[in-house]
Amino acid sequence: MDLFIIQGGTRLGGVARVHGSKNAALPIMAASILTDAPLTLTNIPDLADIRSMLALLDRLGVSMSANLASSRLTLQADDPSSFIAPYDLVRKMRASICVLGPLLAKRKKAIVSLPGGCAIGHRPIDLHLKGLAALGVDLRIERGYVIAQAEHLTGTTIDLAGPNGTTVTGTCNLLCAATLAKGTTVLTSAAREPEVIDLGELLIKMGAKIEGLGTSTLTIHGVTELGAATHEVIPDRIEAATLLIAGAITGGEVTLETVRADHLTSVVDALTRMGCTVQKTHRSMTIRTFEKLSPIDLATGPYPAFPTDVQAQLMALATLAPGKSRIVETVFPDRFMHVSELVRLGAQIEQHGNTAIINGCRPMNGAPLMASDLRASAALILAALASQGETVLRRIYHLDRGYQRLDETLNQLGAKITRVADVPENLPEESIPGSDLLAGPHWLTKPAGVSESAEGRTSL
């Protein structure tokens, strides 16, 4: 396991390239199960989650030629005999659930492990299952697995509204399932995320008949067969937003290339309200921060509202804005694991239910931190860049699941982030760089009356 040592206080500047979208690539890769013809995919990011999906597809009889160094992948489902997605593969990544719809559409049966718990809160799949049952799938949950089969799928109308809005991967699953169903399926309250549109565009290239992409009503006229396609995955809007905030939080000037500004409207709106200037061209964006930041009041929501996947990063920025910011998390109401770690850097944040109140502009100082999930990791790196001194961030495997070498991208922009192997359990911590910070607060002046005992413990 690696950790990061981050030296804060550097203004970032320069040009960075945005990689392909993780959350678009994963359901698109799962869609390879829908045909026995080859899918050629480009702009695939080189990420742990992509490798997890490749391992699962391999288990499901999809042969592959992968060159992730050049972001290219060819997938061909030439062995349709397998339909089991085991816990061991699914537990590594929730998006594994995206194979459920394609398996049922093409192979008419699926045994897929339930994805299980997650650091960002409870994540049920009841809407996926409700939709599949409406299409005619006979399903039950047994010993942690969804066990499902159908003689054929039949189109119908399915409403995907849940208590916290629609479902992104649920829409992907049902979109895939409906492409090969008999008759017409109408999905209402469907997700409008760019990643869903990207999947829909791939399916159309494969021969699917889909209307309404980008709206909350999708109409799918079932076809009997899907075929080969070549598709370039969209740029990752969450990586782009993270890099824009990296520019803003360090008071720098960062230009992003290969980015889709039209996918980032709510993010640009929030950053502009906070006092940043964002210039856009067809495929590039530049952020500058000239003045003091302003506090922000916003709520996350399904696209086109502000993305939950950028909530933690924006909170890191809000810690620098004088005054009170308020961030309401409506998609994953418990997604606040980063709060206590930001507080360790010196931020003042109160959490009340699904709302965080940030009292901005307090000086932040580097500290030892622990990453809890993918986007929280990104937020802690951003906050560390804006802090004085050194931060040691552990458990960055969360970050590597969804950002392609974010440390290298930030270092190209002038950040000072060193990736080192974390100390194995049986080695002394002094053997790694940054151990000073992990070992204890020797830099603190001891309060009167406190002395070190012979064993090195503090006695009062």
Binding residues for ligand EPU, rule: CB under 6 A, are 23, 26, 94-95, 123-128, 162-165, 167-170, 195, 308-309, 331-332, 374-375, 402
Work out the burial of residue 151: count CB atoms within 10 Å of its CB; fewer than 13 is exposed, 13-18 middle, 19 or more buried.
Answer: exposed
What is the smallest separation between the CB atom of 98 and ligand EPU, expressed in angstroms? Answer: 7
Closest CA to 400 of 92, 2, 119, 48: 48
For 270, phi then psi, to 5°, come to: -65, -45
Instruction: Between 26 and 137, name the residue whose CB sits nearer to ligand EPU.
Output: 26
What is the smallest separation between the CB atom of 13 and ligand EPU, expressed in angstroms? Answer: 27
What is the smallest separation between the CB atom of 188 and ligand EPU, expressed in angstroms? Answer: 15
Residues 6 or more apart from 448 whose CB is under 8 A from it? none
The structure tokens listed for 424 are 């194995």
Instruction: Between 92 and 375, name the residue whose CB sits nearer to ligand EPU.
Output: 375
Q: How long is the chain?
A: 460
What is the smallest separation between the CB atom of 129 and ligand EPU, expressed in angstroms? Answer: 7
What is the smallest separation between the CB atom of 267 and ligand EPU, expressed in angstroms? Answer: 13
What is the smallest separation between the CB atom of 173 and ligand EPU, expressed in angstroms? Answer: 9
Instruction: Between 10 and 266, name the residue whose CB sits nearer to ligand EPU.
Output: 266
For 235, phi then psi, to 5°, come to: -65, 155
C-alpha distances out from residue 407 to 6, 93, 171, 425, Å: 9, 22, 33, 24
For 364, phi then psi, to 5°, come to: -110, 145
C-alpha distances out from residue 3 to 249, 316, 381, Å: 22, 20, 11
The terminus-to-terminus CA distance of the chain in angstroms comes to 37
Residues 6 or more apart from 193 whose CB is under 8 A from it? 23, 168, 302, 303
Instruction: Between 32 and 255, name the residue whose CB sits nearer to ligand EPU.
Output: 32
Amino acid at 285: M
DSSP conformation class of 445: P
304: cis peptide before it, omega within 30°?
yes
Instruction: Between 214 and 323, name the residue whose CB sits nearer to ligand EPU.
Output: 214
Instruction: Between 309 and 400, name the residue whose CB sits nearer to ligand EPU.
Output: 309
Please indicate whether residue 172 is annotated as part of the active site: no
Active-site amino acid positions: 118
